[in-house]
Structure 1
Amino acid sequence: MLDSGISILFQGRNFIRLLEGLSVTVSISIISVLISLVLGFILGMIMTVKHPVIQVITRVFLEFVRIMPQLVLLFLVFFGLTRSFNINLSGEVSAVLVFSIWGTAEMGDLVRGALVSIPRHQYESGMAIGLKRVQVFRYIILPQTFRRLIPLALNLVTRMIKTTSLIVLIGVVEVVKVGQQIIEASRLTNPNASLWIYGTIFFMYFIICYPLSLLASRLEKRWNG
């Protein structure tokens, strides 16, 4: 019984199809992460500006993205925008857009927290030895900010990778969708297929996410130790 279940992985192109689906998941994740890192860093610096209007706008944006479930945002973009405004968005583009918005908000808050955690006397000390404000930011503030930010950013990346599994619900043929197709096609001949297919998908996500999580933990211990 178990042999017949695991054999489904290697029938035809099933395993290759899972890898191809995983490549779609990874591609969407990488693009979303890169956009989020760039826009999030800019947003984080904007969030440190002491202006009431800017603070209100950025806080509303952050809270809106945090309160709204990613699945609802996916449906809002993929189904809502396309039908209401006659915009032709593919599932992949919709996924990148939604996860970039979410990642930008989360990354922006991480950057803001890292920047404001730098003691004020660090700025004052740099100015006292004759450095210009730009030089203080470049040579004193940014290196400390990155050391505090990188472990948190890596944890955010793993969250984004795992959350991309939601895109199966808008029809994107990624690894979970491929797994469902294989299970459905073999549900009569291999009733144990779901165990092995979903188990394989679990290990695929684990192999991708665990090294990032481990790296984040080690960096945090090394830099905070």
Structure 2
Amino acid sequence: MWQSAIDVLFQGRNAIRLLEGLWVTIRIALISIALSILLGMLFGFLMKSERRLVRFLCKIYLEFIRIMPQLVLLFLVYFGLARTLQLNLSGESASILVFTLWGTAEMGDLFRGALESIPKHQYESGMALGFTNRQLYVQVILPQTIRRLLPQAMNLVTRMIKTTSLVVLIGVVEVVKVGQQIIEATRLTTPGTALVVYSVIFFLYFMICYPITRIAKRLEQSVEGGS
């Protein structure tokens, strides 16, 4: 039975379809992560704004995103907002929008925390040396902030990649959806296909996320060793 289930993976284009589905997963994650990094840094600066109203609005946004489950946000954007406003929004586009909103909030809070962890004397020393505000941030503050941010940011990247599995519920044909299609097509003739296919999907996610996790761990040790 197990041999037959394994053989299913290599029938027709099944293996290639799984890899194509994996690429959809990676594409959604990469675009969302890239946008989240750029917007998250901006959001992190806004969270430290001297204007109380700006800080308040940032806090509301952050808490809303953290309280709302990603799955509910996906449904809200894809089935609710897009249909209500009659927007021609694909499942993949809705997924990128939701993961970017989530990633921006989380990355912004991480960036804010990294900024606040820089000792006050670093600012004072830079100003004493005659640096302008821009030079102070570009040459002194931001390099240290990014170094402290990287380990936590890498962990967030891993979480975002794993969470992309939710997009199957709004019809995006990614690796989990392809796996379900293969299982459904062979469930009567080869009952053991489900275990084999989901094991392969687990392995594919593991191969992507494990190296990122190891890099994050080494970066964390590097930051602790250099502090």
Please indicate, yes or no, whether the TM-score normalized by the shorter chain is above 0.5: yes
Deviation at 1:120, TM superposition (A): 1.1
- What CA distance in whole angstroms lies between the structure 1 residues aligned with 2:160 and 2:8? 29
- What CA distance in whole angstroms lies between the structure 1 residues aligned with 2:83 and 2:93? 15
Deviation at 1:5, TM superposition (A): 1.5
Secondary structure of residue in 2 paired with 1:6: helix
- What CA distance in whole angstroms lies between the structure 2 residues aligned with 1:198 and 1:97? 27
Deviation at 1:111, TM superposition (A): 0.5
- What CA distance in whole angstroms lies between the structure 2 residues aligned with 1:12 and 1:78? 33
- What CA distance in whole angstroms lies between the structure 2 residues aligned with 1:83 and 1:124? 53
Secondary structure of residue in 2 paired with 1:88: coil
Q: How many matched pairs?
A: 225
After TM superposition, the structure 1 = structure 2 runs for residues 48-87 of structure 1, keeping only pairs within 5 Å, are: 48-87=48-87
Structure 2 counterpart of 1:39, one-letter code: L
Deviation at 1:50, TM superposition (A): 2.4
Deviation at 1:202, TM superposition (A): 0.2
Structure 2 counterpart of 1:167, one-letter code: V
**Does 1:131 pair with 2:152?**
no
Could you tell me which residue of structure 1 aligns to residue 162 of structure 2? 162
Cα deviations across residues 95-116 of structure 1 (Å, max 9, x unaligned)?
A: 0000000000000000000001
- What CA distance in whole angstroms lies between the structure 2 residues aligned with 1:178 and 1:151? 32
- What CA distance in whole angstroms lies between the structure 2 residues aligned with 1:69 and 1:205? 21
- What CA distance in whole angstroms lies between the structure 1 residues aligned with 2:78 and 2:89? 7
**CA-based RMSD:** 0.7
Deviation at 1:82, TM superposition (A): 2.3
Could you tell me which residue of structure 2 aligns to residue 214 of structure 1? 214
Deviation at 1:83, TM superposition (A): 2.1
Secondary structure of residue in 2 paired with 1:106: helix
Could you tell me which residue of structure 2 aligns to residue 23 of structure 1? 23
- What CA distance in whole angstroms lies between the structure 2 residues aligned with 1:121 and 1:201? 49
Could you tell me which residue of structure 1 aligns to residue 7 of structure 2? 7
Give the fraction of aligned pairs with identical amino acids, expressed as a percent: 62
Q: Which blocks of at least 5 consecutive residues in structure 1 are unaligned?
A: none
Q: State the 4+ residue runs in structure 1 displaced beyond 2 angstroms.
A: none
Could you tell me which residue of structure 2 aligns to residue 202 of structure 1? 202
- What CA distance in whole angstroms lies between the structure 2 residues aligned with 1:21 and 1:86? 28
TM-score, normalised with respect to structure 2: 0.97
